[in-house]
Structure 1
Amino acid sequence: RAAPLCTGDPDDLVLRLADMPGEKIAKVKVGLYEAVRDGMVVNLLLEAIPDLHLRLDANRAWTPLKAQQFAKYVNPDYRARIAFLEEPCKARDDSRAFARETGIAIAWDESLREADFTFEAEEGVKAVVIKPTLTGSLDKVREQVAAAHALGLTAVISSSIESSLGLTQLARIAAWLTPGTLPGLDTLHLMQAQQVRPWPGSALPCLKRDELERLL
């Protein structure tokens, strides 16, 4: 299983998420529209589905003011069901302040690939999102997962934009290093076809190895 990445009409999302089997964890991209709209959509989903937990990703899109505008429209009673919000602001200190002031937990993502980043236990920081294909090596991925777990942080294995072949490898890494945490691998819809290995549940055509264009 992987946490579904939710896009589209909020009313349609409510129906889709309400029918999810098992533990209801989903990811929603925020920061693409007005912060107020994002807050209202998140509040709607959490209100409509009482057992839903959301992972949010802002990709550093908000100023501190925009981040506060988002939080204003999320009922304080629902904020604990936001598993984490990835990097709400461009500056880490602004993201830290947001977490302290709103009670909405944050996660580091882009920061992990910056030279000055260090793993620390911090107020309001709940998780790290690790993208193996951007990290550099399996050894480094394993080190990052271990560092996060040693601090009591959730480590989430996540995709960037991989083929179905790449996603199957990421799923194996997640099962190996973070077996108790649902990975974030729902990005295949960005592709027009699968490659070599089909992804479970995908209706996209799957190209075999001899159908791929040789680049070298």
Structure 2
Amino acid sequence: MDQTSRPLNVSPEFLLYAEKYALFELFQRCISSLLIDRPSDPLTYLIELLKKDSDAPKIIILGPPASGRHTIAKMLQKKLNAVLIEPEEILRDVPSKLKDKLPVNPTVNNISSSLWAQIYEERLKDFDCIRRDFDCIRRGWILVDFPMNREQALGLQAKGICPKHVVYLEAPDTVMIERAAGKRIDPKTKDIYHITWNIPSSRDVQERLIQLEENSEKIMTLRLKEYR
């Protein structure tokens, strides 16, 4: 039999190794990048591509309500050009092959830790993301409010998703209650402002700002108590 047509026997050990270190995805990414960019020196190009991947930021930001998590995350996103991912956002874009595993009315709090790990794995290693301008592999990622407990953290670790930095924000409850009380949201754009530190310049935007009930002093006190 010709060598090129002989069946290829792949050992189970290699398949386990390839799956553990995402080798097939790595090959796919390298080939796709070569076909898209068509470099004159493919070898040097691939070396630089893999170097960029290893330097991509991988950050998790945690903290109690109104501690500044989202503000810091957006600052880092702009500075590092990394992909910002939040549980609510990722829940709206669950891969089709995992949708059947979701509860009837999925929320951040009623999904098992093991399923969350699968969802994040698919999102962070989704090579089709390149076409949607949120390639987590090359640009890196910033996770906000996840993992929410030790079990979820271990689930990410088991999937090979390990941050380079974990930022935990903290402040006195009085500060966070005051910060939340001043928050306002633009119902049209969903942009968040603050009546003390971040007032919109447009008069029209100022007039349509609303305060969410969850940011009231009463609700914030309950949220912080629950968080503790």
Bigger share in strand: 1
- Please report the TM-score for the alignment, with normalisation by the length of structure 2: 0.29
Bigger share in helix: 2
- Please report the TM-score for the alignment, with normalisation by the length of structure 1: 0.31
Q: Which has the higher contact order (CA 8 A, sep 6+)?
A: 2
